[in-house]
Structure 1
Amino acid sequence: MKTFSYNDLAYSVEAAGNAWDIVCTRGDGKTAVVAAGVLVGVAEKDVEARARALVRVINPVGIRSIGPDVGHPQRVGDIIIVGPDVGHPNFIYWNKDSASCPKTL
């Protein structure tokens, strides 16, 4: 059994035949199955990295918020259209009170 921590939760990866089960243990001691029968045929030496990547996809820590691009509005006649500023998204973390520019993952 392999264990790792992500977003202040403990996860364990347990063999289930030729597949793996990922179980989450919360702070109060209760467990929840995150994924059952996944990562079929993955070797034991590679399973922790693959399970960690799967958990990050299933349980993201925050959301990406894209605000308006007020510096480059588009004009169509008298209408001013302000599109999204996709070049400068903010990443809002669930476990922090402030937003910040995204970090390279």
Structure 2
Amino acid sequence: MKRFFWGGALKRRNHYRKLRRRILRRDKRVCQVCKRKGAGQIHHIIPKSKGGKDTEENLITLCGPCHLLLSPIPLRVLEKILRLPRDEIRRRQREVKRKMAKLLISKRG
């Protein structure tokens, strides 16, 4: 079955795929927070909701757990997903947010 896309939708999707590959290649698939190898998720340093853009300067590679810890997911849900005690999740969230703040400062600096 052939799929049809409205003009710009396909171009945007292809552009984002290429951008994502460039970011993963640039960061060597290493999480920029915990340095775990094999990371494959892309994160906006400045969220799009706060004016962040889809640019190489605003995107970094994260592993799944670090990406989850930065998300607004409720703590009780994170406990089930990550299978960690609440105190450990909070500790890791603080650590990830501290490292992200350092990244943000270095990007602006």
In the superposition, the TM-score normalised over structure 1's length comes to 0.24
| Greater fraction helix | 2
In the superposition, the TM-score normalised over structure 2's length comes to 0.24
**RCO higher in structure (CA 8 A, sep ≥6):** 2
| Greater fraction strand | 1
